[in-house]
Structure 1
Amino acid sequence: MSSKDTKRLGKGIEALFSSNTDLDIADVVDTIERTDGYQIREIELAKLRANPYQPRKNFDASALNELSLSIQEHGIIQPLIVRKSIFGFDILAGERRFRAAQLAGLSTVPVVVKDFDDESMMELAILENIQREDLNIMEEARAYNSLIERLHWTQQILADRMGKSRAHITNVLRLLKLPETIQNFLEKEELTMGHAKVLLGLESSDSLELANQAISEKLSVREIEKLAQQKKNMTMNSSEKKQVKPKKRVEKDVELAYVENQLIQYLSTKVDISNEKIIIDYVGNEELNRILEVIGLLK
């Protein structure tokens, strides 16, 4: 994607700022509210709808109830940011306030109407949640993937726009390769990113078994690393027995399994050492370039 393509967002977010990509969502909202010609208006709740690009799917019920009580007592202090649409108005920022206002029984809410295009709307929605740390890790992964697919961004452009390292973007996107059950565990925050990185180095059946064990026994990342290593050793030993390999060869493969696990952790991808070969899995040129950078072959 050319640099010219990446500047198409100038119609929206960057129309309010310089070309600096280190945007802070609080600055975005504050600048919109202070921009000449964008006055605060009261709009009926029935005319508002949630941002169709909203990556956040889960809202804490108790937190919403607390916010609704505050709104009942003090009203909505900070207006919502919306744009006109064929449905009425789409919410750009402030969906929590919108939901809490519904709970509080309000009929109207204060808003600032801004003309954002779809790309800027998507980016703002994700920026708002990420910078406020409102997204769980799987919502973040799906949001990144959506930006890449819809806007045709590279991982590097995405990293620059989100203010994240490229390695972080790559690691988060790799979570989408996990079985759906494990993705659900991550979404419910029953497993951490550290657990997920270990599970990515296993076959699906083994990763599911270990994920369930990690949750039921409340295992730490270090503990499932050891269990993952044991699984690899058992699988390799079983394979060696079928091939009637000498004992010395089995012992050597145990050592190789340890090295293999270290490479998996270091490269953040699946690695297989067998038959005097090292096989490193990757998906697409972006991940290949990342791996080459990690091992120092690409700068």
Structure 2
Amino acid sequence: MSGEKKKVKIGSDDWFPSLPQEGNETREIRELPIDEFYPFKNHPFKIRDDAEMLELIESVKRIGIQIPILARPRDGKDGVETIAGHRRLQAAIMAGLETAPAIVTSMDDDEATIIMVDTNLGQRVHILPSEKAFAYRMKTEAVIRKLGRPEKNVGQDVPHLGKRTTEIIGETGGDSYKQVERYIRLTYLIQPLLDMVDNKELDFIPAVDLSYLKNKEQIWAGCAVEKYGKISGKQAGLMKVMSKEGILTEEGIEAIMRAEQPLDMKVTLRGTILQKYFPKDYTPKQMQEIIIQLLENWKREHERDGFKLIK
């Protein structure tokens, strides 16, 4: 392959313990041109331009890439497919490097998927719920294929290991089999709801229950969350039951959200907004007194018009 500069003998399990290896086999570290690396298909982990990434870029500028990229040959195509090291590769690009060190070894799709998931879960500090969800699902499907078992048996025991499939999956990520199964359920959410989970606008357990809803019902639920704010586990659980029974409607979701609306709900007005309507020398207490008086006037007017207000 073009651009090769140096070769170093190394035991690949020094960096990638789950990499298949026979006997005393050693693999070479090759220095490959940056443009010969191609991303892993459906890679679930995002590369974010955060402080951690900036620190990695500076490190690469100073001392280069210390842990080689793990890659495999592309079937019938030039270049290699990146299995582990997407962040290091991006840092090398941002640092202006023309080449990057890589261990290139053949492996099938399932082996590549398992290694990709394990290395990312083991090395990344910040992982979004959606990233872990799709990673667990990809690894689960790969393990099931390796074991030659039907996909419906995902949560059952693997006889010769004495463990559930999802228990095997969770060992690298430090999660129980139940938690792995919950994460996998998140992959059945529509994208707006999944984004809410990542943005901490929708809590994990309610999101798991909402994943059992039909797509149309999830759209209704998403609109309700935007309108009323946080959805509780009780509310989401009730929606799940009603959906299963085929009686969940958009009006039903509205009723559930209104009935469970907490009495201590808060509306926050930023100081920059309030300053538009008050003199600069007004204290927060003075602002509050005026706002309450205006609300009292508003309430009296609406009660006079026959509107029923929340008590």
* Global fold match (TM > 0.5): yes
Structure 2 partner of 1:127: 118
Secondary structure at the residue paired with 2:222?
helix
* Greater RCO structure (CA 8 Å; 6+ sep): 1
**Stretch deviating more after TM superposition (197-206 or 47-56):** 197-206
Structure 1's consecutive aligned runs of 4 or more residues displaced over 6 angstroms after TM superposition are none
> Per the alignment, do residues 114 and 158 of structure 1 end up closer, same or farther by CA in structure 2, a change over 3 Å counting?
farther
Alignment of 1:232-247 (within 5 A): none
Q: Which ranges of structure 1 fall in alignment gaps of 5 or more residues?
A: 1-15, 18-23, 230-260, 282-299
Which of 94, 105, 125 in structure 2 is aligned with 1:114? 105
TM-score computed with the length of structure 1 as normaliser: 0.57
Q: Which ranges of structure 2 fall in alignment gaps of 5 or more residues?
A: 1-11, 156-164, 248-311
Tell me the CA shift for residue 38 of structure 1.
0.7
> Per the alignment, do residues 280 and 148 of structure 1 end up closer, same or farther by CA in structure 2, a change over 3 Å counting?
farther
Answer yes or no: is the 8 Å Cα contact 1:41–1:111 preserved in 2: yes
Secondary structure at the residue paired with 1:81?
strand
- Cα-Cα RMSD: 3.8
Structure 1 partner of 2:168: 160
**Stretch deviating more after TM superposition (63-72 or 98-107):** 63-72
Does residue 1:207 correspond to 2:221, yes or no?
yes
Structure 1 partner of 2:84: 93
Structure 2 partner of 1:176: 187
Tell me the CA shift for residue 142 of structure 1.
2.8
Secondary structure at the residue paired with 1:61?
coil
Tell me the CA shift for residue 37 of structure 1.
2.7
CA distance in 2, matches of 1:225, 1:161: 26
Indicate the structure with greater helix content: 1
Tell me the CA shift for residue 73 of structure 1.
0.9
Residue 155 of structure 1 aligns with an amino acid whose one-letter code is: V
Tell me the CA shift for residue 116 of structure 1.
1.5
> Per the alignment, do residues 135 and 35 of structure 1 end up closer, same or farther by CA in structure 2, a change over 3 Å counting?
farther
Alignment of 1:246-265 (within 5 A): none
CA distance in 2, matches of 1:73, 1:35: 33
Which of 9, 27, 37 in structure 1 is aligned with 2:17? 27
Tell me the CA shift for residue 47 of structure 1.
0.9
Answer yes or no: is the 8 Å Cα contact 2:37–2:79 preserved in 1: yes
Structure 1 partner of 2:72: 83
CA distance in 1, matches of 2:101, 2:15: 19
Tell me the CA shift for residue 26 of structure 1.
5.7
Answer yes or no: is the 8 Å Cα contact 1:179–1:208 preserved in 2: no
CA distance in 1, matches of 2:219, 2:34: 47
What's the % identity of the aligned pairs?
Answer: 22
> Per the alignment, do residues 132 and 191 of structure 1 end up closer, same or farther by CA in structure 2, a change over 3 Å counting?
farther
Q: Give the length in aligned residue pairs.
A: 209
Secondary structure at the residue paired with 2:184?
helix
Answer yes or no: is the 8 Å Cα contact 1:155–1:169 preserved in 2: no
Residue 38 of structure 1 aligns with an amino acid whose one-letter code is: R
